[in-house]
Structure 1
Amino acid sequence: MNVDAANGEAPEWTAESRFAIYYVPPRDSAWWEAGCRWLARDPESGEALESPVLPALAERSRDVRSLSRAPQRYGWHATLIAPARCAPGVSLDQVAERARAWACRQQAFTLQVEAAALERFVAIIPATDDGAAAMRRLAADALHAFAPLRAQPSEHDRRRRLSVNLTERQRELLDRWGYPYVLDAFRFHMTLSDSIDGDLRQLLIDWWRTQVPTLGPLPIDGAALFVEPRAGAPFVLAARLPFGGRR
């Protein structure tokens, strides 16, 4: 296997492993440091980190880690291609080769973002309609590029997806693409919390609204190949994918 994580070790890979294509901020950016610290884990180095202390949460005997268990497992990211197993006969190296070729075709840009509530969780999202449309186009391009490499979801996974309230359009997308939140149903977001109550959501949003101006626009200059080695295991960043052949 030619895919090596940042720690120099090839990610564990079996027939049950899944890959995903995520947007991630540059390794040396304030956005990467802030997001990884918030989620208490660097999925590239494997390092455990200390989450920031929010006095308003401490007053309620709560902390950031207790409110962000799900995004901690996935790592700091925004989904472009949702986790999936490889199609029959496809190897992780073939996925990585396709991923690097896809990334070379992309052009870097910056994205104005804000902290907001998406349903019951908190996320970083595009601050403008134009920015949201740009990310939708990027994700759609990735969807078409990686579709031949992704296995269709199992019947169990399909039933699990259908157990939530999908729209008719989302059901169509699930049947065609194996995932309901693609193309016109795609929403770029970098998840910061679990599903939480409204007052806690507002505390997190208020804190992040003080941070976003200091971090500046989000640099959309690369993506990353992530791997879930085993069901329920933390996702690891297996390879960064710089846009436009940038090193």
Structure 2
Amino acid sequence: MSGGVWGDDARFALYYAPARESAWWEAGSTWLGRDAQSGESRVAPQPDGLTRPLAQLTGAPRRYGWHGTLVAPFRLVESVAQQDVLNATRQWAHRQKPFALPVEAATLGDFVALRPAGQQAEDAMRTLAGSALQTLDVLRARPSADDLARRLAAPLTVRQRELLVEWGYPYVLDEFRFHMTLSNSLADAHERATLLAWWQREAPALGPLVVDHVALFVEPAPGEPFVVWERVPFQINEVN
């Protein structure tokens, strides 16, 4: 891989992340205890009713940064330069139109997350993610046979297995569900309910998310925290 800032083990992802100067970015980054753009740690709030620090309940999403996945992390084909990812993203983003996304707090399995509020909002994010996936897939290195076998060993539906083989991730296209993760997987129902109640109070005051750009995130080396590489704006500057 030529012309790169990071090594061959780096992974790249296309995420939605609220604008850096927005109240949504501040709220989510503070909740997770880390700003994925500046790299700074934050002092997380402590919702009433928790018996352990919030930071112990958010370790997994903290590593990935405050985001909602559009294209899941991937490594690059050897012939692809890191600049190619940015160039392809810019060309794709230039064709996208901004919109406002109403969101609500919910539990998704054992996780607490934000999700689109209503079918129209869900469909808008699925369309956006599907378009981005098809644009960037040509840059993605295919997994080894051993890695693919390991991923296929997970409990997946037939359709999800098909998507994993074709696209490198099982939750894409018709299986895609946009969300912004707010917790680890939590077995304790009380902890889930406490976090959910906190966000059900806070989210309405923050209003809809403004989807007017995307953010390329990078995992510099396996296991390291993801960081914002570059935010890429959409072409039209008016929100409908």
**TM class, shorter-chain normalised?**
over 0.9
Offset of residue 245 of structure 1 = 6.2
CA-CA distance at 1:161 after TM superposition: 2.1
CA contact (8 A) 1:103 1:245 kept: no
Give, in whole Å, the separation in 2 of the partners of 1:169 and 1:107.
Answer: 30
Cα distance in 2 for partners of 1:155, 1:23 equals 30
Q: Which residue of 1 aligns with 2:204?
A: 213
SS at match of 2:60: helix
Mapping 1:122-161, distance limit 5 Å: 122-161=112-151
Residue in structure 1 matching 2:92, options 79, 98, 102: 102
Match of 1:86 in 2: 76
Matching residue of 1:203: 194
Number of the residue aligned with 2:21: 28
> How far 1:142 moved relative to its partner?
0.2
Which of residues 213, 216, 220 is equivalent to 1:222?
213
- Once the two structures are superposed, residues 92-137 of structure 1 have per-residue CA deviations (whole angstroms, 9 ceiling, x without a partner) of 1110111111111111001111000111111000110110010000
Residue by residue over 1:165-214, the C-alpha shift from the partner in whole angstroms, topping out at 9 and shown as x without a partner, is 10000000011111111000000000000000222111100000000111
Opposite residue 211 of structure 2, the aligned amino acid is: I
- Does the 8 Å CA contact 1:224/1:239 hold for their aligned counterparts? yes
Aligned residue number for residue 237 of structure 1: 228
2:30 paired residue among 22, 37, 43: 37
Supply the AA of the counterpart residue of 1:113.
V
Query: Relative to 1, partners in 2 of residues 1:40 and 1:12: Cα closer, same or farther, differing over 3 Å?
Result: farther
Question: What is the CA-CA distance between 1:164 and the residue it aligns to?
Answer: 2.0
Counterpart AA for 2:151? R
Q: Indicate the residue corresponding to 1:187 in structure 2.
A: 177
1 CA distance for matches of 2:27 and 2:120?
25
| Counterpart amino acid of residue 212 in structure 1 | A
- Secondary structure at 1:56's aligned position in 2? coil
Structure 2 residues without counterparts, runs of 5 or longer: none
Aligned-pair identity in percent equals: 52
- Which residue is equivalent to 2:57? 67
TM-score, normalising length from structure 1? Answer: 0.92
Give the partner amino acid of 1:28: E
1:13–1:134 distance in 2 versus 1, CA, 3 Å: same
Q: Are the equivalent residues in 2 in contact too, given 1:41–1:72 (CA < 8 A)?
A: yes
> For the residues of structure 2 that align with 1:194 and 1:142, how far apart are their CA atoms?
27
TM-score by length of 2: 0.94
The size of the alignment, in residue pairs, is 235
Native 8 Å contact 2:97 2:236 kept in 1 = no
- 2:43 is the alignment partner of 1:50: yes
Q: Which residue of 1 aligns with 2:10?
A: 17
* RMSD (CA atoms): 1.6
